[in-house]
Amino acid sequence: MDTKVWKVDKHVDNLIDYPHVVDAAIFLAENEVVALPTETVYGLGGNAKSDEAVAKIFAAKGRPGDNPLIIHIAKKEQVHSIVKDIPEKAAQLMESFWPGPLTIIFNKKDGVLSELATAGLSTVAVRMPDHPVALALIEKSGLPIAAPSANSSGKPSPTTAQHVIEDLQGKIAGIIDGGPTGVGVESTVVDCTESIPVILRPGGITKEQLEEVVGEIRLDPALKDQESKPKSPGMKYRHYAPNAPLYLVSGSRSFLQNLIAERQKEGMRVGVLTTEENMHYVQADVVLACGKRAELATVASSLYDVLRTFNKENVNIIYSEVFPNTGVGQAIMNRLEKAAGHKLISE
């Protein structure tokens, strides 16, 4: 399949009538699938009402059919057409964080969406992205848009159109290149079908931010304990993995340097994922800085690009610095732990 790549500057006026946005909306109406920029990562969008479109999303990504998709909307009111009811706390979260990197789980209205999109569950995940191009495209299509991250299943999520091209060119109808995404990690997924909301996936909106609005928030036990079954089906899969084995390293600079030296003696090409503050203290074959430790948002923003760069560098092993488990650090550590298959080396 020929994949169209359209460049769209997110700052232009009247995006909803911009020719490339119109072209992409026509593809969506024809049940073709199109990658689009959001403020978190690129999504692979399709008509959420159509089995045909949703099946194309799963096929292009190689995604297991039991992993439901997030439904993207352009206006808050659109949520009424797909959910059964809006609990009070969900309404407060929508008011505070939409548009933005927060996905809310509601009870689903029956008979509206493709059953494939929700993997047959009685609930549905909804979000309103904070990106002018995504909002214009969804509004122009007039449809609820199902959109998982636009990567091949298992790979790090795409934060640039180039990442999407690497994974999906030839498999999808089009890609809107709206430049690099900002947040860099996916939306926070919060289940509001229970009286105390539960975070199923940490992401762009922090636990602390949610608590400020609705008080007590729980964390899905599966986020801490690998034995529990996660409520978010997607969280059970290994994800975000670079090709080389990744180890998280907690310890002093000399501890890390010794590990590197041991591996190099064994003939390995060693990669290190570190930060701007620490990179000058590390000697390895490939040293990549992932933002600044002092500003965790910059780490989130470049994390997936750095993980993908290690693949191009053909390293045999990667050691990564660890981050504090607070604020957006919770999302960063969740993704790194998954990418590492929970392999941690402590001093």
Q: Which is nearer to ligand TXA, 101 or 174 (CB)?
A: 101
Half-sphere exposure of 47 (CA within 13 A, CB side): 19
- Classify strands 246-250 and 43-47 as parallel, antiparallel or unpaired: unpaired
Which among 100-108, 210-218, 269-277, 337-345 is the span making contact with ligand TXA, rule CB under 6 A? Answer: 100-108
Which pair of structure tokens corresponds to residue 250?
A: 């907690």
Q: Which is nearer to ligand TXA, 66 or 262 (CB)?
A: 66
Site string for ligand TXA, 223-262 (x = CB under 6 A): --------xxxxx---------------------------
**What's the CA gap between 91 and 99, in Å, rounded?**
13
The CA-atom distances, in angstroms, between 189 and each of 124, 126, 186, 219 are 11, 9, 9, 11
**What's the CA gap between 246 and 262, in Å, rounded?**
16
Total binding residues for ligand TXA by CB under 6 A? 31
Residues 141-160 that bind Mg ion (CB under 5 A): 149
Buried b (16+ CB within 10 A) or exposed e, 26-55: ebbeebbbbbbbbbbbbbbbbbbbbeebbb
Nearest residue to ligand TXA, scored by beta-carbon proximity: 234
* Helical residues (DSSP H) of the chain, grouped into ranges: 19-29, 51-61, 88-97, 132-141, 161-168, 207-214, 253-265, 296-312, 329-339
Which pair of structure tokens corresponds to residue 48?
A: 């959420």
Interaction of residue 187 with ligand TXA, rule CB under 6 A: yes
Site string for ligand TXA, 167-186 (x = CB under 6 A): -------------------x
Residues 7-46 that bind ligand TXA (CB under 6 A): 38, 40-41, 43
Residues 55-84 that bind ligand TXA (CB under 6 A): 67-70
Least distance in angstroms from the C-beta of 253 to ligand TXA: 34
**What's the CA gap between 306 and 134, in Å, rounded?**
25
Site string for ligand TXA, 297-336 (x = CB under 6 A): ----------------------------------------
Which among 144-152, 167-175, 208-216, 312-320 is the span making contact with ligand TXA, rule CB under 6 A? Answer: 144-152
Q: Which is nearer to Mg ion, 68 or 329 (CB)?
A: 68
**What's the CA gap between 48 and 144, in Å, rounded?**
6
Residues that bind ligand TXA (CB under 6 A): 38, 40-41, 43, 67-70, 101, 103, 105, 118, 121, 123-125, 127, 129, 147-149, 186-187, 189, 200-201, 231-235
